[in-house]
Chain A
Amino acid sequence: MSALWLLLTLLVVAYFGSILAGGRTIAGFGLPSGVEWLLVGFAFGPQALGIFDSSTIRQFEPLAIVALAWGAMVIGLDYGHAGRRRISPRGLLLGIALTTLCLAGVGVAVLVGLRFISHLSGLDAYLIAGTVATVSCETTRQAIRWVSERYHADGPLARCLADIADGEDIVPVLALVTLFAFVPRAETLVAIVPPGWLAITLGVGLMFGLLGSVLIRRSLAHGESWGVLIGVALLGTGIAAQLQLSTVGALFCVGLTLTIFSRKELELRQSLQRTERPVLLPVLLLAGASIDFAHAGTSTWLVVLIALGARVLFKGLAGLLVATRVRAARAAPFSVGLGLMPAGNLTLCVALSCYMSLPAELGQFALLTAVVVTLVGELVGPLALRRALHRAGEIAGAGVTALVAEPALTAAEPTLTAAEPTLSAKESA
């Protein structure tokens, strides 16, 4: 397939993505993570049907880098928010703590596993464990929102889970930034130690975020505001890529800085959220086409299985910990834990970023783990979450009254979704 045909295919996928962003995802059309596009890409790729060939896919590498970074910026812009409401510091901390627990748990499990199944040691083993753990710790907010809106769930548990899923995004991003900082890099004119690269990544994000905050003073209805926003995002991405830093990490910081300092924060969030799916779905298709399962050995699959097992264990543990904070979760704590299993956009962004920018072996670990974790999460998560919310009496028409009426971690608004009209409604308005 020629580059033009591939481009047109990607535009068609983006078109579907923009329709999905119009609100039909919430009505139950398409998977929350969008992982099905990864599988479609795999089916079309050189490993399966061969409709896309490797050289053509490689031509779109800059596009994929930009799309991933843009997705990360959108996630960063939305960080700490559930719809229009800001999530509370308690919810934020709980999300960060539970995800850090999962990250550390999976990392240690993989590190121990590697001692038995391979001869790797030292920095190599740490990097593999770190990569696998980074793509195994997220709980996607889309899945929580998907279940909550589909089944009209509302209550302390639904809000707590939404807060956790929204608050924890920073953990995999920081882990990714750290990972990139420690990966050996090509020579630069200035020798800098890994913590220095970590600081530079965050600094690049902060600087371009501040630049955007200062320069975007007018509404995005004006062309120059979009020019500045796209310019800031691309320049930040390009510079991070040139310095072999994490583009996803840097742009997440840009988004976070914009959301903190920009006067147009709300408009930016609302406008950019609409771009997330149209931008990411074509990348998932491209990434799917690049997946090479054939070269994954037994040891690779064993590592992935260890990571998956550890994730189930530590998400289950997270469910128990949530039950200590939210009484409604005590009816089915393990279901709550399994309800935290779905991974989504961020995991796939992180994995694809590793796949494109880190050494081949690390990239393959990241992508395989992300695919498996996301697929299992899609199979298990929504069902478990529905069960947990049902048992907690938070699903409308469940016939079970809430166990205890308790204040939520964030009691800012009555329903999870009422404050934010669906994007399609906004668009048609």
Chain B
Amino acid sequence: MSTATGEHKGFVLRLSQAAALGVVFGILLLVNWVVPSMQLAADTITCVGFLLLAAVLTSELLEIVRLPHLTGYLLVGIVAGPHVLHLVPHKVVVQLEVVNALTLSLIALAGGLELKVQMLRETARSLTWATVFQSSLVPVLMAAVFFGFAGQLPFLGGLSWPGLCAVAALWGVLAASRSPSATLGILSQTKASGPIAKFALGFVMSSDVVVILLLALTITFARPLLSATDGVSLDSLLVLGHEIVGSVTLGTTLGLLLALYLRLVRGHVLLVLLFLGFGMTEAIRYLRFDPLLTFLIAGFVVQNFTKQGPLLMHSVEKTSSVVFVLFFATAGAHLDVPLLGALWPVAVALCAARALFTIGAHWLGARAARDTPVIKKWGWAPLISQAGLTLGLSVVVERTFPSFGAGFRALVIATVAINEVIGPILFKLALDKTGETVHPVK
């Protein structure tokens, strides 16, 4: 029994891990029984410890069936969360949302660090065609499918035809979003290297920017269709331009400062990353720039214009290895299982349609780009996952259109729940099948 990293893990170790997992669950159940009313501080500490330990153990055990670690983290969150075993109460899940800012900054930094100019040059044609097809076909086709299901979605009641078209367009754009965190989580676990890994990184990271732009444009044109008093205002495009230019500028400055720090000081990078994750994210939000884009650019600058890329990458990987566990376990605990139960027929249909269109768009893109057979066959697999970014975009839609936003977001959560679980499994399967996890291709 060996892992992707080639390390042998014997039966005794697996047995001890399974026993330890049982002990951890048992202890928490016992303590919750003995001390039913708890203080929030103690509760939070216990839950964080439990999620970390149980998630790591579960992910290790799932290695036996070659499932990705990420699935283990999500599974523990779902099982222990407020909707199943109630070991992690809702108030704690809400408190743990502070980790999100740190995680997203690490994800974006790592994403930027992974984007090497050389790699982008090599995959430029593939990425361009994939972006063209994925960002045009998938939103349009998914909007059409959503429109078809409109009659079964109570939160759309009362909307006019143009309004329904606008909501469907918003859905289409969200369907084109991917999960940078899941992509990086899988690549970080498997240490995979090869055409699929390169394509996944390049496409998922760059498509974020496209989706953010598309959403801003769609919102601009959806407003007058959903409200008689609103008109098309180019102000929002101006704001978007300000956001993008500002984020790129700040990201470049931040990247250069980070490189300078690493060159002069080198040490204590963990604390610097924490400072960036919590403090800098808030500062970026205050300036109304996009934290994801800013950190992505910062990582890109450090990797491609300085010699400090490997050092920063190592530090980010070390920090994120623990932060990712907590992030995904909390995401699992956040999954609204009853809601998923209520919306599952529509959610499953939408997910299936999205997967189908993604595969189709990928096939067309790969043909146009004359990609290698490996990319043609498996390149769609990393594009199925959806997670934090999609949920974040759904919050933007909810805030902008409160009349139907809550129901819209609930449906997004339900579909993300499915894609979040299935996507990483498919991506890991693709990496395994193409041999990128076992024998990394140089």
Q: Which residues of A line the B interface, CB within 8 A?
A: 4, 7-8, 11-12, 14-15, 18-19, 22, 61-62, 65-66, 188-190, 207, 211, 214-215, 217-218, 222-224, 226-228, 230-239, 241-243, 278, 427
Among A4, A15, A222, A237, the residue within 8 A (CB) of B49 is A237
- How many Å lie between the Cα of A205 and that of B317 in the bound state? 30
If A215-B16, A238-B45, A241-B42 touch, does A227 touch B322 (CB 8 Å cutoff)?
yes
> Which residues from 23 to 73 on chain B have a C-beta closer than 8 Å to any C-beta of chain A?
23-24, 27-28, 31, 33-36, 38-57, 59-60
- Assess whether A237 is in contact with B56, with CB atoms less than 8 Å apart: no
Q: List, sorted by A's number, 21 A–B pairs whose CB atoms are closer than 8 Å.
A: A4-B279, A7-B279, A11-B271, A11-B274, A19-B268, A62-B42, A65-B42, A190-B34, A227-B53, A227-B55, A231-B53, A231-B56, A234-B45, A235-B52, A236-B49, A238-B45, A238-B47, A238-B49, A239-B28, A241-B41, A241-B42
Q: Which residue of B is nearest A278, CB measured?
A: B271
Chain A residues, CB < 8 A from B325: 227
Interface presence of B20 (CB below 8 A): yes
| Cβ-closest chain B residue relative to A15 | B271
Q: How far is the CB of A238 from chain B (nearest CB, A)?
A: 3
- Bound Cα distance from A234 to B53, whole angstroms: 9
- Whether a CB of chain A sits under 8 angstroms from the CB of B13 is yes
Instruction: Using A18-B267, A215-B57, A238-B45 as known contacts, say yes or no to A231 and B33 having CB atoms under 8 A apart.
Output: no
User: Provided the pairs A11-B278, A236-B49, A241-B45 are in contact, do residues A189 and B36 lie with their beta carbons within 8 angstroms?
Assistant: yes
Closest residue on chain B to residue A11 by CB atoms:
B275
Other CB < 8 Å A-B pairs besides A189-B36, A234-B48, A241-B42, 20 of them?
A: A4-B279, A62-B42, A62-B44, A65-B45, A211-B23, A214-B16, A215-B17, A215-B20, A223-B317, A226-B322, A227-B321, A235-B28, A238-B42, A238-B43, A238-B44, A238-B45, A238-B47, A238-B48, A239-B27, A239-B31
The residue of chain B having its C-beta at the shortest distance from the C-beta of A211 within the complex is B20
Which residue in B27, B40, B51, B279 is a CB contact (below 8 Å) of A8?
B279
Q: Beyond A239-B27, A239-B31, is A66–B45 a contact (Cβ under 8 Å)?
A: yes
Closest to B59 in A: A224
B230 at the interface (CB under 8 A from A): no
B282 at the interface (CB under 8 A from A): yes
The answer to whether A228 and B49 touch (CB under 8 A), given A11-B275, A239-B27, A242-B35, is: no
Complex alpha-carbon distance, A239 and B268, angstroms: 31
Q: In the assembly, what is the distance between CA of A337 and CA of B16, in Å? A: 49
Contact of A232 among B13, B40, B53 (CB under 8 A): B53
Are A234 and B35 within 8 A (Cβ)?
no
Min CB–CB distance A74 → chain B (angstroms): 16
CA distance A238 to B92 in the complex (A): 13
Chain B residues within 8 Å of A235, by CB:
24, 27-28, 46, 49-50, 52-53
Inter-chain contacts of B370 with A (CB < 8 A): none
Partner of B268, one of A8, A18, A228, A233: A18
Q: For A8, list chain B residues within 8 Å (CB).
A: 275, 278-279
Nearest-neighbour CB distance to chain A for B289, whole angstroms, equals 17
Q: Is B439 an interface residue (CB 8 A)?
A: no
Contact B35 A243 (CB under 8 A): yes
Contacts of B317 in A (CB 8 A): 223
Shortest CB-to-CB span from B283 to chain A, Å, is 10
Complex Cα distance, B20 from A231, in Å, reads 12
- Least CB distance, A245 to chain B, in whole angstroms: 11
Chain B residues near A226: list those with CB within 8 A. Answer: 318, 321-322
Q: A15 contacts which chain B residues (CB < 8 A)?
A: 268, 271-272, 275
Contact between A62 and B271, CB atoms less than 8 A apart: no
Which residues of chain A come closer than 8 Å to B60, judged between CB atoms?
Answer: 224
Shortest distance from the beta carbon of B56 to any chain A beta carbon, whole Å: 4
Q: A11-B275, A238-B46 are in contact. Are A227 and B56 (CB under 8 A)?
A: yes
Q: Out of B35, B41, B59, B272, which one reaches A61, CB within 8 Å? A: B41
CB of A407 to closest CB in B, whole Å: 40
Complex: A211 Cα to B50 Cα, angstroms: 13
Which residues of the partner chain B approach A427 to less than 8 Å between Cβ atoms?
A: 267
Roughly how many angstroms separate A323 CA and B267 CA in the complex, as a whole number? Answer: 44
Contact of B50 among A11, A224, A231 (CB under 8 A): A231
Chain B residues, Cβ within 8 Å of A11: 271, 274-275, 278-279
When A4-B278, A227-B321, A231-B53 are in contact, do A65 and B41 touch as well, CB less than 8 Å?
yes
Is the beta-carbon distance between B49 and A18 smaller than 8 angstroms? no
Residue of B nearest to A238 (CB): B46
Our pick among A62, A211, A224, A242 for the contact of B321 (Cβ within 8 Å) is: A224
* Chain A residues, Cβ within 8 Å of B321: 222-224, 226-227
| Residue of B28, B43, B48, B317 with highest tally of chain A CB at under 10 A | B48
Q: Which residues of A contact B23 (CB under 8 A)?
A: 207, 211
CA gap between A226 and B325 in the complex, in Å? 11
A346, B184: Cα distance in complex, Å: 41
> In the complex the two chains form, what is the Cα distance from A61 to B41 in whole Å?
7
Q: Which residues of A contact B318 (CB under 8 A)?
A: 223, 226
Kindly identify which residue among B35, B49, B278 contacts A7, using a CB–CB cutoff of 8 Å: B278
Question: Nearest chain-B residue to A2 (Cβ)?
Answer: B282
Q: Are B268 and A188 within 8 A (Cβ)?
A: no
Residues of A contacting B13 with CB < 8 Å? Answer: 217
